[in-house]
Chains A and B, each alone.
Chain A
C-alpha cells in the first residue's frame, strides 16, 4: 500500500507538469518578437549571410524593434517585418498575410530574364506538335536535337513518364533540358530526373539540419545519394539551360548535374535557394517561411547563392525580337560541335 501511495503521488506530480510553448501576445510587438525568434532559432544561413552581406541578426533586432508601436496598423507591421526579413536576402524567406506576401526577388529582378515563354513556345510549336509526359514537354527539334522543357518539379515523375521521354528522344544527337523559370518543387523529383544522366549510384550533394536553437547547431552533413534510373538512360551530350529563376529544387537539379561527363550548364547563374524551407506562424496568423536545412554540392560548397553556368549566355534583344532563343540556339551548336 505504501508503494501504491508513492506511485499515486508520482502520477499526481506528472499531472501538474504541462508542456507548453511560451508565445507572445497578438500585439505588434508580440508578433515582431515571435517572428524574430522563429528565425533566430530555425534559420540555417546566418553564417553564410554574415560572410556575404555582414548580416547580424541581433543588430537587425535592435534596428527594427524600435519601429514597432502599439497602435500601428497591420499594414505598417507587415512593412516593418517585410523589411526586416528582406535583410536575409533569401528567396525562401516569406511572410504570408491575407493582403500580401513578403518576398525577396533581387536575385532575379536585378538580372536579365533570359527566358520568354512566347519564344520557347515558338520552338515547341502548337499543342499537337509536342508531347507532354507528366510535367515534361518535349519534342525533337529540326536538327535532331531533343528538347525537354521542365517548368516545375511540383510533382514526382513516374517511371513510365521518363521511359517514354527517353524512348521518344533516343535517336537524337543530344538533349537540351530547359529548367529556366523552374521555381522548384520536390527534391525527389529533381533527383529522379537527374538519375537519367549517370550510370552508377552517385553522391549528388550533401544536406544537414539544425539540431538546436543555436546559430551553429547543425548535424553532420550527410550525402544525398541517388541510384541511376532503371530504364533507358541518356549517354550523349546534354545541355541544361538555367537562368536566375532556376530556383530551389531546380537549383538542386543543376547542382546534381554540374560536373558530370557530357553535361554542360548553359545560360545564367541559377537563383539559388539551397535551404529546404520550413514554415511556422505568428500569433496573428501570418505564416512565415524560412530556409531550414542547408544543402551543399558534392564538393561541400554552398549553392544558396546560385550556381555559375559552364557557358554563360544571355538572350540578345535581336534574337528576342526575332522569336529566337539565344540559349537554345547556343545549346544546339554545342551539341553539334
Chain B
C-alpha cells in the first residue's frame, strides 16, 4: 500500500511538473506572428491623356508615380483575411501631337480593403476581395482660356485580385506578384457637356454633377506585376505598372493610360500578438 501511495505521489508530482512545463511552453511561445508588409514603389513611364472637355486630341508624355502599399492579416478570420491599403500619387506632363500645347495631370488616390486568401500550394498565394476609397485629380491645359482645366473627384468600390508565386533564389525566397484592381461601383464629379467652371465654382451652379459610376461608363483597371528579390533585410521590387483610368460622363470623354516601370522596396515587420 505504501508502494502504491508512493507511486500516486510521484504521478501527481509528474502531472504538476508536466502541467507547469506545458504552461511554461505556452507562456514563452507567441500565440502567432503577424506580418505587416510595407511596400514603396516609384514609377516612371509613359502617359496617354485625353479629355474632350479640354481638347479632342490625345496628349502624350512622361509620368511619375509613387505608391505606398501595406498588407497585414486581419485580427479575425484565422489568417485567411488580409487588410490591404494603397496610397498613390502620380503626375504627368503630356504634349499635344503637334507639340503646340501641354497638359499637366496630377492625382492622388487612397484605397483600403479586405481580401480573402487561399494557398493552393506552398508556393502560391491567391487573394480576392474588395477595396474602397477615393481619388482627386486635375488636368490643366496650358493653352485654353475659359476651359483650362478639368477637376476630378471620385469614390469607388474596387475589386481586388492578387496572385503571388514564391520561389528560391540564391538560397532565399523571391516572389512574383500580380495585383489587379478595377472599380465596380462608385460616384464621381463631372461638369456637364459644355458647363463652365465659372458656373460651377463662381456661381455655385449644379447640374447633375455627381453621377454613379460603373464599368460601363468608367472602365478602369490598375495592374501591377512585380518581382521581389531579397536584399539586405528588405526586398527589392522591380516591375511594371499599368494604370488605365477612363470615363465617359455627360458626353465628356476622359482617359489617362499610364504604363510605368516601377522600382521600390518591401519591408516585412513581424509583430507579436
> A: which residues have CB within 8 A of B?
4, 7-8, 10-11, 14-15, 17-21, 23, 26, 34, 38, 42, 44, 187-188, 207, 209-213, 217, 219, 222, 224-225, 276-281, 283-285, 287, 289, 292-293
User: B79 within 8 Å of A by Cβ?
Assistant: no
B253 to chain A: which residues have CB within 8 Å? 19-21
Chain B binding site: helix, strand, loop or mixed by DSSP? loop
Residues of B within 8 A of A26 (CB): 97-98
**Is the CB–CB distance between A213 and B193 below 8 Å?**
yes
Pairs of residues from A and B, 4 with the lowest C-beta to C-beta distance, nearest first: A285-B98, A210-B194, A285-B100, A19-B246
CB contact under 8 A between A285 and B221, given known A219-B195, A222-B203: no
Check if A213 sits within 8 Å of B192, measured CB to CB: no
Q: State which residues 201-231 of B face A: CB under 8 Å.
A: 202-203, 205, 207, 215, 219-221
Given the known interface contacts A19-B219, A188-B198, the answer about A34 and B56 at a Cβ–Cβ threshold of 8 Å is yes
The yes or no answer to B52 lying at the interface (CB within 8 A) is: yes
**B199, A279: Cβ atoms under 8 Å?**
no
Alpha-carbon gap, A188 to B144, bound state (A) = 18
| Chain B residue, CB-CB nearest to A3 | B128
Whether B187 is near chain A, meaning CB under 8 Å from some CB there, is: no
Whether a CB of chain A sits under 8 angstroms from the CB of B146 is yes
Residues of B participating in the A interface, judged by any CB pair closer than 8 Å: 50, 52, 54-58, 96-101, 128, 143-147, 159, 161, 180, 182, 192-196, 198-199, 202-203, 205, 207, 215, 219-221, 244, 246-248, 250-251, 253-255
Residues of A within 8 A of B244 (CB): 15
In the complex formed, the residue of B with least CB distance to A188 is B202
Determine the distance from Cα of A25 to Cα of B225 in the docked complex, in whole angstroms: 36
What is the number of contacts between chain A and chain B, taking CB atoms within 8 Å? 137
> A217-B193, A276-B146 known; A11 and B203 CB under 8 Å?
no
Taking A14-B182, A292-B194, A293-B196 as contacts, is the C-beta distance between A207 and B221 under 8 angstroms? no
B241 smallest CB distance to A (angstroms): 15
* Least distance between A220 CB and chain B CB atoms (Å): 8
* B221 close to A14 (CB less than 8 A): yes
The 8 Å CB contact of B56, one of A15, A188, A217, A280, is: A280
Tell me, in angstroms, the Cα distance from A4 to B120 when the chains sit together: 14
Known A4-B128, A279-B147; 12 more pairs at CB < 8 Å: A4-B161, A7-B159, A8-B161, A21-B56, A44-B194, A188-B202, A209-B199, A210-B193, A225-B203, A278-B147, A279-B144, A283-B97
Identify the closest chain B residue to A13 (Cβ): B215
Let me know if A11 and B182 touch, CB within 8 A.
Answer: yes
